[in-house]
Structure 1
Amino acid sequence: MSTRFLRYFFEPNSIAVFGASEKQLSMGGQVVRNLLEAEFKGKIWAVNPKDYEQVYGIPSFTDVSALPALPDLAIICLPALSVPALIDELGRFGVKAALILSGGYVGTDTENDITETQDSQDTRSPSQRFREQVLEAARPYGIRIMGPECLGVMVPGRCLNATYAAQSVKAGKVAYIGQSGMLGNAIIDWAKGRGIGFSHLITLGESVDVMLADVIDYINRASNAQAILLHLEHIPDSRHFMTAVREASRNKLVLAIKSGRTASAQSIEMFTPGLSTRDPVYDAAFARAGVVRVDNSEELFDALETLTRMKPLRGDRLAIVSNGIGPSLLAVDKLIHHGGCLAQLEDATLERLTQALPLHWRRGNPVDLGGDAPPERFATAVELLSQDPNVDAILVVHAPTRMASSMATATALIANKSKFKRNLLTSWMGLEQAFPARHECNLAGIPTYISPEKAVKAFMHMVNYQRNQALLQETPPSLPFETSQQARQQARALVQAALTQGRVFLTHQEATQLLEAYGIQVAPSAYPQTPPQAAHMATEIAGPKALKIVHSTNCHPFVYRKHPHKLSAGLQQDLNTPEEVEHAAQRLAAKVEEKFPQSQIFGFCLQPMQRGKHSLLLNVGITRDPVFGPLIVFGIGGFKVNILIDRQVALPPLNLNLAQEMIDRSHAARLVREHSNQPEEDMRRLCQLLVKLSQICSDLPELKGLEINPLLVNRDDFFAVDVQIDLGDSAYQAIMPYPEELRETALLKDGRQIEIRPIRGEDAPALLRFHSRLSEESIRFRYFHNKADLTKRDLSLLTQINYDRQMAFIAEQVLADGSKEILGVVRVWTDPDNIRTEFSVIIRDDLQGLGLGAKLMRKMIAYCTSVGTLEMIGKVMIDNHPMRGLMEYLGFRCKYNMEEQVVDAVMPLNEPANEWQRHRLESAL
């Protein structure tokens, strides 16, 4: 999983095509023709055992060893049976990248050939065995494999068309990365017809080695693409994917389409407890990564149209111009339905429009020009609307009339295009007259759509992207609580005790103890072991009581029967006397012995009845997805939970902002706001609860599921009534959680005690205060220029870091009033291959000379060494003498960089494990 050798796929200087011939249906021959037609600047060789002299005019050789030189890229168009042996041969020859376009391993003959030497007990599919054989052949040599069954790679800007596609595309600013060769063909054909270009067009096929995330990393770092368009069928490594796409979306617009949305399209093994379909999980992941999701292939094409034609939006306010109110209302309905905003025109704009338009116009947005509107009226209206500061984009909806054809109107808009100061979208309704208008707009680079609804949806793609970016930049408020190390240890002990006893669940009592360790309030409960003991404990509880039997079958979360009312089968309610409680316990025990004879009984749970007080029943918890790992769930609770299906999901770790956004998506949020006596307080407590569940995910990787149902919210209280927890193998989160284990305390030379810990999003206000106390010189030494203020984006980038690739440690001290302040910061940025990391460190001016800089740097050096980074580097300004002294004191090699007028500080951390890592270290910084 890295960008190792990926440049050979996208920037090769020489290519060898295996299986190339001039036969009519030769895939290799089509690849050669495409390379020649694209005017590839490097060397091209054909390889075919039939000893052709040439293939389409290029020299042909019989095998790898006969090639005149080592090719950068091998393109394989041979039957699957011969591929593993060829990969081994290429590896021994020194080739570093192989593109496997061929497939066929699922065919009968190939399957028999591949399986004839396999053990008859081998349950792997032919495709799995084929992939493993290819990887085994490649592994000793480090050769990178893309494919099999992929369409190939196009990089128009480098005259590279290494595909068997029937057409090519022109150069552009959008990178397409997909997993389906056939959809890639459709994209090419559509783009050719629209004149749309790509920086890269890549289909990965089966992704044997080079994964989607690897390519995203490469495109983000090595390409000038302004946007990335993704087509996903599956995600093999969620953390790698989330890391790559979160980083890319901070720099480029990223759109994605995910196939297999419905339950019938998903494998039965791909099941997430508590969710009827896994599609919301992808919604949550994309939103968390700042990715805009499109729903279908039509939207994918429309999104591509928007990406390539539109400038970045100033906001989300749309003005609509049409020659009839009916078509414009279709656009308004779609806009409002998808959360868009109809621009409110300024009075001055309305007056200017009144002077230019007929007297009967409606004086508002949408702007109805009338059925007799000539082309010039459209151009004038659009020009005036583009001058309104409340308008961010303009949609023209036109239906053809005798007075103004679609073509004439399109020509007028194109002629006046330079006068429009806002993004312009067009929808030419109809077919015969509309087609040439759409064609002319395409040629002029104006986004055009078949219907007003499609135009609005395309506009909303851009709006949603901006909203996602804003969410990424939100700095969360400071947490009003902090879970102690003692509480974490208590929770871990409960889990370990259950696992030691061979249990894959916690009892009700253990589950409530775990919640209480994290400060989650639970209903008062007693845990009698026998019916007589239950009767005795009932005397100490006033009012009606509820009794639940606890046995191994009902200790698992998210287990719902077909009929919701049967969920209460193990529960007896409204028990008033000790005798009623004892008899209820006997009945429940007998029922369990009859219905679940293999289930171990762990006693009973006795609680006071919680009915009344205008209670709201909510459902919160943790579940585990087979791809993205632990998830937080939230929604309406009670016995109807599996009917209402109000479960919202979010990927941990959560902060208070993300928790609030998750709650706001649910029906439960409206219930809380409408029926609570203190809605803001209840929402605040709900957000804190979700953040605590997020901490539980991070602290207890063996926790498979946790369900609080119901969580009771009423006038007087807020607590968990029932809870189930089950356990499983350790799972890691798709987004690396806050590394609590890296905290440590230290003493400075003046005797003050500090804590050194990783930074987090909630530290943004403290970081801003820290920055305000720095001198201009300290800021110049850190940023290499005077940076007086940190912007909102700066704060989000500096505090909401991806711990999988970045790390920042802060030193903070506790003040007399209990508040904390930051004294210094050290941070590193590591490349995707973990070869080299670049550091920066800054200390508050009044703390110079106390040894804080050395402590922070040693902490970071130890961390980077522990995660396997090979080398740490930094750039120090010539006149920053204290930092230069610190670098020499810590053992960095310091060398003057004449070109950049700085001192390069370098420290080796780990030895390279292979030649490629050694080569990377020896390359220029």
Structure 2
Amino acid sequence: MKPHYLTPLFAPKAVAVVGASDTAGSIGQAIFSNILVSGYKGKLYPVNLNRKLVAGIAAVSSVRMIEGPVDLAVFATPVRTWPAVVKDCGKKGVKAVVLVKEFGDFEPLEAEVIEETVASARKYGIRVLGPNTLGLMRPIIGMNASNYAGRVKSGNLALVAQSSALCTAMLDWADAKGMGFSSVVSMGEGSDIDFGEILDYLVADHNTQGILIHTHHIHDARRFMSALRAAARSKPVVVIKSGRSDAHLNGITESSHLIDDADVFDMALARAGVLRVNTIAQLFTAARVLAANYRTQGGRIAIVTNGIGPGILAADSAISNGVPLAQLSPETLAQLDHEMPRDWSRGNPIDIIGDASPARFRTAVKVAAQDPNVDGILVIFTPQAGTDHLATAELMASLQKEIQKPLFMSWLGDARVAASREVFSREKIAHFRTPEFAIEVFRALAAFHHNQQLVLQTPGPLKEEATPPNIHAAREIIETAMNQGREVLSEIESKMVLEAFHIPTNPARLARTADEAVELAQTFGYPVVLKIDSPDILYKSDVGGVELNIRTEIALRAMFSAIIERAREKMPNANINGIMVQPMVKRPYGRELMLGCTHDNTFGPVLTFGAGGIAAEALDDRKLSLPPLNDYLANSMIDGTRVNRILGSFKNMPAIDREALKATLLRVSEMVCELPAIYEMEINPLIADEQGVLALDARIIVRAPQGNRRRYGHMAIMPYPTDLVEYMTLRDGTEVMIRPMRPEDADMQQEFVRSLSEESRFNRYMSSIKELSRPVLVRFTQLDYDREMALSMVATIDGKTQQLAASRYFMNPDNESCEFALVVGDNWQGRGIGVIMMERLFDAARQQGLKIMYGEVLANNKGMLKLMGKLGFKVDPHPEDRALTWVTKVLIED
């Protein structure tokens, strides 16, 4: 486990401040002074063209004149000087630079100069933070390389902010609340180092227990989501976004018009497993509670109080905030009846009467905590005659250590209960001056729990079906339309695409004349439906282009002419192909739903589900999700809508076939994964009843995908790479499967590591570990397949699935190279498995466009070095460690 490549930025052993100065009010003076007084223990060098001393320290005129290595250089000079300074840094071997700029320092050619600076830095392998950044602070090592004038305490939270102004506001707020940081990173414009790389470092940083993020806009959704998901699996992440917009997506379908970009951003953060908040106060409070390891398994709250008035107000706040009050079980009510005074409230809120002793509080809270219907408890204490606030607080603090469910304390009053608040602060117990604020934090905790379930979802392939989707046929339909210059598929074409993915549709046929319509109606059988067919008319009802329940030939002929006349009157320039004829569907218990996909400029395809028909717009009922979906995510989409309330047995209607509905969501998800040209899609109405589902109307908008051309490059979350699953038989006859690793493999992976010999573990991990730590195990099994891959060879032995070997690569920030690792179980070595696993890893890396694979191998690991030679790796001495060798293989020739 070698140091992260951003270690020179976050933990430099030597820092140079270019432009360090004694001039009062200058940025160079502020930065150099901050580093001096912050207690930085490394070497500090002032660089100044005109001064020999800065703050009493000998200065040099160029970075190249510094004796000894320099890890980090902070630029505090005018922008025009940066290209020359970064070249000096490159020749000196500096690994990272921070570009700090005066906000009023604007020059006409500034953008070009910054671009030249970053390009030069990349040439020398220098990583760049900024420009337009406040700087970088690492209080845990006493380094304040910024121009922030306030105090920053050391702590276990990391703050990463795009806006320098908002960063200073956050730091000022935190200082007033006594909160500290492990790192404070002002991102600025992020011309080189981005959110993803910083988050990767902070995940590996043992000094960081929680991560706070401010963002305004996202440059690369795939990398942003990838980094967030990786971070949120290990540490709590809380996000605040500025620039919230209610602007609707700029799409064509009705689905797009009902969705705004704020909805999409919220949904994306939820899928990443992080918590979004709206204020700075909420940001730090949520982070403090999460970092203190407060967790809940659900959203139902119980309220225990010795004052019914505050209890009812808290209950009202819970209801208005969408926090359900827990329904106490009969067993809990019976036990409380036995333990509490006769006139207790006999419900939730649990009013234990004004004279409640500390012991009565403890009993009530413990009994409530044992109720399976309770996920968290709000304890409200009101100082009354005969009560003891301090003893009660101490009992609550000790009780929290006994139970797993979170307790939230609200001791009403001020000076009189101050000692109790000191107890809660000392014991790190969540406490609030008002019950309403406690309710808000509990709601956030419940949302975080829900989001954590979402981030654990790694959708795999759909269950094997007798007939897989005909992806080739669907692509042909789309390509034909695009070659003809059309973006809107006809309803018939749209339904053909749905049918290719086994989504049931109401058949439709095109009639160009009334006679053809009559012939089709006779084939289908009356009654039938007539619909206008025109590439220029997206919503047929808007032009009177739909007639239902036509029962006779006479009516059909009359309606055929009437539809065309109405359409020409409303849209005289529309190109009309003819009239579609469909059988009239009779589904007396059908519920009208809407299922579709829209396009967000940042996050790509977004799936939508909700009420359909005319209710779609009137009820504003929808649930969003980023593809890909699995069973859990599909069920979450259905459960999150209001229309879900009538999908079960409702009055005289039987429950719908929920499995059929869920399968349709999964197939639509698969469709937008495999067909990147689908820009928007809408099935409305989708009829669902006890017989299944049926798409009555569908429209698909197609456009050539932009940007990342790699497979699934159009998506913010890469699907499970099903194409890498392979079954094979080893030379000794053992039947095995090679597949990408999944989160549920964690126990199997840990058992595999434990079963390795001490020598094999040392060769793989270069340490004497006996098993993987929890964070490493999560890191190894909960993958983002876009930037890393882990292949596992498994076999069923004695009725149990076992891991035989694993190979993996980690993509480097250049997106062109990767580092690999390989381990084969001791009992399975010598059977050609190493070659198989590496060749499959080569294929996976090439699919991602990676050109070079490299690794570090112990010099005395003769078996691995022999395998490397056999696989075509170039073997060289390691440039920094004689105990290692450096192996490199070119995967794709330039």
Which TM-score band (shorter chain)?
Answer: 0.7 to 0.9
Alignment deviations for residues 291-315 of structure 1 (CA, whole Å, 9 cap, x no partner): 1222333321321331344555687
**Which stretches in structure 1 are left out of the alignment for 5+ residues?**
116-125, 560-564, 898-902, 915-925
Shift of 1:908: 2.7
Equivalent residue letter for 2:841: M
Matched-pair contact (CA < 8 Å) for 2:302–2:325: no
Q: Matches of 2:311 and 2:455 in 1, distance apart?
A: 33
Query: Which residue among 852, 858, 861 is the counterpart of 2:842?
Result: 861
Shift of 1:644: 2.0
Aligned to 1:921: none
Q: Matches of 1:354 and 1:895 in 2, distance apart?
A: 77
Equivalent residue letter for 1:520: I
Q: Matches of 1:714 and 1:339 in 2, distance apart?
A: 31
Aligned to 1:600: 575
Aligned to 2:675: 700
Q: Matches of 1:78 and 1:879 in 2, distance apart?
A: 50
2:778 counterpart of 1:803: no
Which deviates further from its counterpart, 146-155 or 384-393? 384-393
Equivalent residue letter for 1:413: A
Matched-pair contact (CA < 8 Å) for 1:335–1:342: no
Q: Matches of 1:775 and 1:104 in 2, distance apart?
A: 53
Shift of 1:884: 10
Aligned to 1:96: 95
Shift of 1:520: 0.9
Shift of 1:703: 1.5
Matched-pair contact (CA < 8 Å) for 1:892–1:906: no
Matched-pair contact (CA < 8 Å) for 1:352–1:384: no
Shift of 1:283: 2.6
Where 1:673 maps in the other structure, the secondary structure is coil
2:487 counterpart of 1:504: yes
2:632 counterpart of 1:657: yes
Matched-pair contact (CA < 8 Å) for 2:544–2:567: no
Aligned to 1:145: 128
Q: Matches of 1:740 and 1:348 in 2, distance apart?
A: 48
Aligned to 1:122: none
Alpha carbons of structure 1 residues 614 and 269: separation in structure 2 relative to 1, 3 Å: closer
Aligned to 2:71: 72
- Give the root-mean-square deviation of aligned CA atoms: 5.0
Alpha carbons of structure 1 residues 794 and 179: separation in structure 2 relative to 1, 3 Å: closer
Q: Matches of 1:225 and 1:724 in 2, distance apart?
A: 48
Q: Matches of 1:793 and 1:66 in 2, distance apart?
A: 42
Shift of 1:498: 1.7
Output aligned runs, 1:197-236, within 5 Å: 197-236=180-219
Where 2:132 maps in the other structure, the secondary structure is coil
Q: Matches of 1:379 and 1:242 in 2, distance apart?
A: 44
**Which stretches in structure 2 are left out of the alignment for 5+ residues?**
707-713
Where 1:147 maps in the other structure, the secondary structure is strand
Output aligned runs, 1:497-646, within 5 Å: 497-555=480-538, 567=542, 569-610=544-585, 613-646=588-621
Shift of 1:331: 3.3
Alignment deviations for residues 360-417 of structure 1 (CA, whole Å, 9 cap, x no partner): 544666454544557x56885689669958687654323455766xxx8358635984
Alpha carbons of structure 1 residues 309 and 411: separation in structure 2 relative to 1, 3 Å: farther
Which deviates further from its counterpart, 80-89 or 702-711? 80-89
Query: Which residue among 328, 332, 340 is the counterpart of 2:311?
Result: 328
Matched-pair contact (CA < 8 Å) for 2:822–2:834: no
Q: Matches of 1:725 and 1:381 in 2, distance apart?
A: 61
Output aligned runs, 1:152-163, within 5 Å: 152-163=135-146
Query: Which residue among 827, 830, 841 is the counterpart of 2:810?
Result: 830
Matched-pair contact (CA < 8 Å) for 2:16–2:70: yes
Q: Matches of 1:629 and 1:174 in 2, distance apart?
A: 31
Q: Matches of 2:875 and 2:122 in 1, distance apart?
A: 37
Equivalent residue letter for 1:29: Q
Shift of 1:275: 3.8
Aligned to 1:738: 720
Which deviates further from its counterpart, 83-92 or 377-386? 377-386
Shift of 1:427: 2.4
Query: Which residue among 475, 478, 490 is the counterpart of 2:473?
Result: 490
Matched-pair contact (CA < 8 Å) for 2:634–2:665: yes
Q: Matches of 2:630 and 2:792 in 1, distance apart?
A: 19
TM-score (norm 2): 0.82
Alpha carbons of structure 1 residues 27 and 410: separation in structure 2 relative to 1, 3 Å: farther
Shift of 1:517: 1.0
Q: How many residues align?
A: 866
Shift of 1:745: 7.0
Query: Which residue among 276, 279, 285 is the counterpart of 2:268?
Result: 285
Q: Matches of 2:465 and 2:761 in 1, distance apart?
A: 32
TM-score (norm 1): 0.80
Shift of 1:26: 2.8
Aligned to 2:236: 253
Where 1:909 maps in the other structure, the secondary structure is strand
Shift of 1:759: 5.8
Shift of 1:734: 0.7
Aligned to 2:108: 114
Q: Matches of 2:563 and 2:280 in 1, distance apart?
A: 54
Shift of 1:595: 4.2
Query: Which residue among 146, 166, 173 is the counterpart of 2:149?
Result: 166
Which deviates further from its counterpart, 832-841 or 661-670? 832-841
Which deviates further from its counterpart, 39-48 or 68-77? 68-77
Shift of 1:163: 2.3
Matched-pair contact (CA < 8 Å) for 1:17–1:28: yes
Which deviates further from its counterpart, 233-242 or 596-605? 596-605
Output aligned runs, 1:31-110, within 5 Å: 31-49=31-49, 51-62=50-61, 64=63, 67=66, 71-80=70-79, 82-83=81-82, 86-87=85-86, 90-91=89-90, 94-104=93-103, 110=106
Which deviates further from its counterpart, 485-494 or 441-450? 441-450
Q: Matches of 1:478 and 1:66 in 2, distance apart?
A: 59
Matched-pair contact (CA < 8 Å) for 1:617–1:710: yes
Equivalent residue letter for 1:33: S
Q: Matches of 1:844 and 1:707 in 2, distance apart?
A: 54
Q: Matches of 1:449 and 1:145 in 2, distance apart?
A: 42
Shift of 1:653: 1.2
Where 1:835 maps in the other structure, the secondary structure is strand
Q: What percent identity do the matched residue pairs reach?
A: 30
Matched-pair contact (CA < 8 Å) for 1:824–1:853: no
Shift of 1:823: 9.4
Shift of 1:857: 3.8
Q: Matches of 1:46 and 1:14 in 2, distance apart?
A: 11
Q: Matches of 1:403 and 1:136 in 2, distance apart?
A: 73
Alignment deviations for residues 192-237 of structure 1 (CA, whole Å, 9 cap, x no partner): 2333222212221222221111100111124432222222222211
2:434 counterpart of 1:454: no
Alpha carbons of structure 1 residues 645 and 872: separation in structure 2 relative to 1, 3 Å: same
Output aligned runs, 1:276-425, within 5 Å: 276-310=259-293, 320-335=303-318, 337-339=321-323, 342=326, 360-362=343-345, 366-372=349-355, 394-400=377-383, 409-410=389-390, 413=393, 417-418=397-398, 420-421=400-401, 422=403, 424-425=407-408
Matched-pair contact (CA < 8 Å) for 1:839–1:872: no
Alignment deviations for residues 455-493 of structure 1 (CA, whole Å, 9 cap, x no partner): 232234334434433454568798444496771111111
Q: Matches of 1:130 and 1:572 in 2, distance apart?
A: 64
Q: Matches of 1:589 and 1:775 in 2, distance apart?
A: 71
Aligned to 1:10: 10
Alignment deviations for residues 530-560 of structure 1 (CA, whole Å, 9 cap, x no partner): 34422332232322322112222235xxx7x
Q: Matches of 1:133 and 1:874 in 2, distance apart?
A: 34
Query: Which residue among 716, 727, 734 is the counterpart of 2:702?
Result: 727
Alpha carbons of structure 1 residues 239 and 619: separation in structure 2 relative to 1, 3 Å: same
Where 2:511 maps in the other structure, the secondary structure is coil
